[in-house]
Amino acid sequence: MKAFDYWHPILRTKDLKRKPVSVNFCGREVVLFRGQDGTLAALEDCCPHRRMRLSKGKVKGNRLVCPYHGWSYDQSGKGISPSTSALYPCVKSYEVTERCCAIWVKEHGSTAELPTLAKPGLHHVCTLHYHIRAPLELVVDNFCEIEHSCTTHILLGHDLEAISLVESRIETTDDAVRIINKGPQKKMPRLLEYLLGYKRGDLFVGELEILFSPVRVNIRNYWTSSNASECRKREAQGTVVFNPVNDQETEIMLFSFMSQELSVFSRLLNPLATFLLDFETRLDQKMLEGIADKDTKLTGVQLGRFDKPLGLTRERIKRLYWQRDFTPLP
Ligand code: FES
Ligand SMILES: [Fe+2]
């Protein structure tokens, strides 16, 4: 399987309106559009006639009309040329579906399944989308070490003064890396403490599961009493899916969930949690884009005790995701 054989969430549902939208992904340009009957379509964003971008065109009925000479394509990519009726132009199409407020695409014919985003019964809070000027491996690094939470983040994570107390455990299988971090939570506003059921002195636990088909991190955050004997009831879960744009840029789609019991507060909590998550993720983005040397090799960098996952994820990204015959465009 190659990267494009896996399902990737390349656009939020709400970002596709009447006009077609072009998305860069894995060195390809894909145009997404919705026909009048509501059916979604994903085609290569290039008219086979004279290579005009189809995303510059218009949707008419259930067809996408190229703006250059008016040739049009249905949702499976079958075309009509008004000037040359005996011609049957065809543009490459992708399998497309919607899930959790995002539009997902993959190659036709691949057997990949849609990733599981959260355990059943959780309440969906938001789906957020970011474009980060950093290579895939460096963006993944940021989401699988907790050390940066002390300084990059405002609310979730650990205090720099107490980072030496944070325990970190790693478990690996052939196709997954799991990390469990546990330690003192940094100070939070009272309202958030109340909503999360957090008591001062509690330990913050972050469980991360990194998978590679597609590359994604399942995150589970919860709190325990200081002696770890009691788990607080409320928890936050999320999945971050990584979409490489090219070898220097990456997009991420972040799906956030909360304990079902918190859904009674959803009118207050959803906008608040969305604002805070967006704020915190933009801090990650800013930090990643500020890295001086974006070489993804680990030679020449000095690694600390929280950096052990970096080599483990790189090896799996290369072996399970890029595959030997896949070369991202420069
Ligand atoms: S380039 Fe699209 S119709 Fe001519
Ligand atoms: Fe972060």
Domain harbouring 198, CATH code? 3.90.380.10
Residue 115 counted as domain residue: no
Ligand 1 pocket mutation pick from 65, 66, 90, 91 by most atoms within 8 angstroms of CB: 66
For residue 302 the two structure tokens come to: 């000095």
Q: How far is the CA of 70 from the centre of ligand 1 (A)?
A: 6
66 lines ligand 1 (CB under 6 A): yes
pLDDT, position 62? 97
Is residue 327 assigned to a domain? no
pLDDT at 329: 43
What is the Cβ-side half-sphere exposure of residue 269, based on CA atoms within 13 angstroms?
Answer: 21
Ligand nearest to the CA of 139: 2
Number of domains composing the chain? 2
Contact predicate 69/79, CB 8 Å: no
- 275 and 153 inside one domain: yes
Q: How far apart are the first and last CA of the chain?
A: 21
Q: Among residues 49, 73, 106, which one ends one of the domains?
A: 106
Give residue-wise pLDDT tens across range 15-35. 999 999 999 999 999 999 999
Structure tokens at 47: 């008219």
Residue type, 134: A
Say yes or no: CB of residue 56 within 6 Å of ligand 1: no
Return d(Cα 179, Cα 168) in angstroms, integer: 7
Whether 64 is in the pocket of ligand 1, judged by its Cβ within 6 Å, is no
Task: Identify the pLDDT of residue 50.
Answer: 97
In the chain, pLDDT over 70 holds for what percent of residues? 96
Question: pLDDT tier at 326 (50, 70, 90 boundaries)?
Answer: very low
Q: Which residue has a Cα nearest atom 4 of ligand 1?
A: 69
Which pLDDT tens digit goes with each residue over 118-149? 888 888 999 999 999 999 999 999 999 999 99
Instruction: Indicate the pTM of the whole model.
Output: 0.93
Residue 316's Cα: distance from chain center in Å?
17
Does some domain include residue 112? no
pLDDT of the residue at 75? 96
Given this model, what pLDDT does residue 186 score?
87
pLDDT attached to residue 262: 66
Least confident of 155-159, 185-189, 193-197: 193-197
Provide the 10 A C-beta neighbour count for residue 134.
Answer: 21
Residue 263 and residue 127 share a domain: yes
CATH number at residue 16: 2.102.10.10
41, 154: one domain: no
Residues 195 and 250 placed together within one structural domain of the fold: yes
Instruction: Please report whether residue 16 resides in a domain.
Output: yes
Is 33 part of a structural domain of the chain?
A: yes
The residue among 46, 76, 106 that closes a domain is 106
286 lines ligand 1 (CB under 6 A): no
**pLDDT at residue 182 greater than cutoff 80:** yes
Q: Is 111 helix (H, G, I), strand (E, B) or coil?
A: coil
Is residue 70 domain-shared with residue 148, that is, in the same domain? no
Rounded to 5 degrees, φ, ψ at 130 are: -135, 150
In a domain, 117, yes or no: no
Q: What is the pLDDT of residue 317?
A: 94
pLDDT exceeds cutoff 80 at 153: yes
Do the Cβ atoms of 61 and 19 come closer than 8 Å? no
Residue 187 lies in a domain: yes
- Looking at the structure, tell me whether residues 151 and 253 fall in a common domain: yes
The reply to whether 78 and 140 lie within a common domain is no
| Whether residues 173 and 314 fall in one domain | yes
User: Using one digit for the tens of pLDDT, what is the confidence trace for 71-89?
Assistant: 999 999 999 999 999 999 9
pLDDT of residue 1: 64
CA of 44 to the centre of ligand 1 (A): 13
Residues 95 and 143 reside in one and the same domain: no
Residues 215 and 249 both lie in one domain: yes
Question: What residues have CB less than 8 Å from 123, skipping those under 6 apart?
Answer: 257, 258, 259, 260, 262, 263, 266
The C-alpha atoms of residue 102 and residue 129 are separated, in whole angstroms, by 9
Shared domain for 222 and 75, answered yes or no, is no
* Of 232 and 68, more confident: 68
Q: Which of 106, 139, 170 is the last residue of a domain?
A: 106
Beta-carbon-side half-sphere exposure of residue 301 (alpha carbons within 13 Å): 15
Calculate how far, in angstroms, residue 161's C-alpha sits from the geometric centre of ligand 1: 62
What is the model's pLDDT at position 272? 87
* Residue 94 falls inside a structural domain: yes
| Residues 147 and 289 reside in one and the same domain | yes
My answer on whether omega of the bond before 48 falls inside 30° of 0, hence cis, is no
Residue 58: give the domain boundaries: 3-106
User: The tokens 């939470």 sit on which residue?
Assistant: 149
Structure tokens given for 179: 């990390």
| Cα–Cα distance, 35 to 223 (Å, whole number) | 46
- Per residue in 267-277, pLDDT (tens digit) is 777 898 899 99
